[in-house]
């Protein structure tokens, strides 16, 4: 069983358990039903006192356990939510970096003045080319040749 299934219903189970534990403790119903069994047993002294206290405080123990379950469920769900948010953020950052790289490459390309035809062989320049695809000559105009 995965933790997500274990904590899936932590809110309603935790609240119902706490409410039931409070009702049992306030009404002393649980204590009044179980103590006669202990009184009719052969327990005496410290053992009887221990079980008497344990039975009396059992609803409180369960209340604390349900509260811990409720809190653990909230913590687990929050961590799972943060994990998903982190994954989405990482994906978005990766996508944005890819787009930024394309934009940076395009900006770097646009800062050059380029020939429309190769000065060596005369073939037309294809879009985003800085070197002639036929003869390999640079298509970037030199500042010294500009007028």
Contacts 24+ apart (CB under 8 A), 54-61: 55/30, 55/31, 56/31, 58/30, 59/21, 59/22, 59/24, 59/25, 59/30, 60/21, 60/25
Work out the mean pLDDT of the chain and round it to a whole number. Answer: 85
Q: How far apart are CA 72 and CA 47, in angstroms?
A: 34
Q: What is the pLDDT of residues 67-106, one digit of tens each?
A: 998 898 889 889 989 999 999 999 999 999 999 998 888 7
Residue 38's pLDDT is 81
What per-residue confidence (pLDDT) applies to 1?
54
φ, ψ of residue 111 to 5 degrees: the values are: -75, -15
pLDDT of residue 116: 87
76-85 pLDDT, tens digit per residue, is 889 989 999 9
Poorest-pLDDT segment among 76-80, 108-112, 131-135: 108-112
Give the pLDDT score at 96: 94
Residues 6+ apart with CB under 8 A from 131: 137, 138, 139
Residue 147, pLDDT score = 42
> Domain-by-domain residue ranges, the chain?
7-110, 112-147
pLDDT digits (tens, 9 = 90+) for 134-146: 999 988 887 544 4
CB 101, CB 114: distance < 8 Å: no
For 64, phi then psi, to 5°, come to: -65, -40
Percent of the chain at pLDDT above 70? 94
């Amino acid at each position: 069983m995965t933790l997500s299934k274990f904590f899936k219903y932590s809110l309603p189970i935790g609240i119902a358990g706490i409410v039931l534990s409070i009702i049992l403790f306030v009404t002393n119903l649980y204590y009044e039903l179980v103590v006669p069994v202990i009184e009719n047993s052969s327990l005496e002294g410290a053992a009887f006192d221990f079980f008497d206290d344990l039975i009396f405080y059992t609803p409180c123990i369960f209340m604390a356990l349900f509260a811990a379950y409720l809190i653990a469920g909230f913590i687990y769900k929050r961590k799972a939510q943060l994990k998903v948010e982190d994954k989405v953020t990482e994906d978005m950052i990766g996508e944005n970096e890819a787009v930024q790289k394309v934009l940076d490459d395009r900006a770097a390309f646009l800062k050059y003045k380029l020939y429309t035809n190769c000065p060596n062989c005369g073939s037309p320049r294809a879009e985003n080319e800085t070197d002639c695809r036929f003869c390999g000559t640079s298509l970037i105009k030199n500042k010294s040749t500009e007028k």
